[in-house]
Structure 1
Amino acid sequence: MRFLPLAAASLAAVATLSTGLPAYAAAPAVQIIKVYYDSPGPDRRSSSSLNAEYVVLKNATRSTIQLEKWILRDKTGYKYRFGAFALRAGKSVTVRTGSGSDGTSTVYWGRGQYVWNNDGDTASIHRASDLKKVDACSWGRSGDWTNCS
């Protein structure tokens, strides 16, 4: 009986921890893990240069996520809306700025101009159902790419 108050206090602490965690503590289902915002070489809007600018998204769950109508956007409002695309559990997809043929691990925005600002920007991914922001990644003025995870 002597340790009953200690046990009750421990249970109360566990209950507080299990219910009191903020919502952001859980990892997002779809994560932005890398943004390559400054493609190598001069910015001449060639297909290879545009496609060297990209964002990598990862499915951090154990289930396939249907990304159809999900939106990837930058801070100023450029938007890429996914077509029919299933991101399998634990897999990644690269969204390239330029043109190409979509596949199972790479999709193309189809733009003729760059999206991601070299001097700082924010990439964010939004669900189709309610346009709620799922994850975001920001960077400043240095480097060519950023690791977001």
Structure 2
Amino acid sequence: MRFRSLLTAAVLAGGMAVAPPAYAAGPAVRISKIYYDSPGSPDFGANSSLNGEYVQLKNVTKKAVSLKGWTVRDDTRRSDHVYTFGTFTLGAGKTVTLRTGKGKNSATTRYWGRSGGTFAYIWNQVKDTAYLRNTSGTLVDSCSYNSARYAYKVC
């Protein structure tokens, strides 16, 4: 409201009106959900269990976004907990699911390709953070959870 008063005063005084400051737009792609505790118990690292944990990314714009070179990682500093997108374009308004295990990549699902038992899981079952970075390494979005009460977090 203060800006509107200043603008009105400037116009009445014959001055030049100045546009309000532009606000930074949010990220084009956002982390929308993390399913960090795959269904079933116990978790022994079977491919079906690994693929039961995933992170979803949503393109919230009206334009397709190339994710080539973008990364998703968790809060650990382990280099094997980084997924790098190859050639992949996320359509306008579309969601892609990044599953931890192995499978055939498609337009809606990508696979981290992890295997090897209980140490193959990416997302901790109680507390973790997902980070999405673009090709230059700039943080685009993150989503944290801190609860064993639920199996997933809507970001």
In which range does the TM-score fall when normalised by the shorter chain? 0.7 to 0.9
Work out whether 1:88 is the aligned partner of 2:91.
yes
Q: Let me know the Cα RMSD of the aligned residues.
A: 2.3
Alignment match of 1:109 (pick from 89, 108, 112):
112
| Deviations 1:48-70, CA, capped at 9 Å, x for gaps | 10000000000111111111110
Contact residue 132 and residue 142 of structure 2 kept, 8 A: yes
Instruction: Give the Cα separation in 2 of the matches to 1:131 and 1:5.
Output: 40
Give how far 1:141 is off: 2.2
What are structure 2's unaligned runs of at least 5 residues?
A: 12-16
> Stretches of 4+ moved more than 4 A in 1?
none
Give percent identity, aligned residues only.
47
What are structure 1's unaligned runs of at least 5 residues?
A: none
Work out whether 1:68 is the aligned partner of 2:61.
no
* Secondary structure of residue in 2 paired with 1:19: coil
| Deviations 1:13-68, CA, capped at 9 Å, x for gaps | x968x3164x4xx3211100000000011211001100000000001111111111
Number of residue pairs the alignment of both structures matches = 138
Structure 1 pair 122–15 and aligned structure 2 pair: CA distance change class (3 A):
farther
Please tell me the residue identity of whatever aligns with 2:132.
Answer: I
What TM-score comes out, normalization by structure 2 length?
A: 0.81
What TM-score comes out, normalization by structure 1 length?
A: 0.84
Instruction: Give the Cα separation in 1 of the matches to 2:133 and 2:9.
Output: 42
Please tell me the residue identity of whatever aligns with 2:104.
Answer: S
Contact residue 64 and residue 87 of structure 1 kept, 8 A: yes
Instruction: Give the Cα separation in 2 of the matches to 1:105 and 1:5.
Output: 49
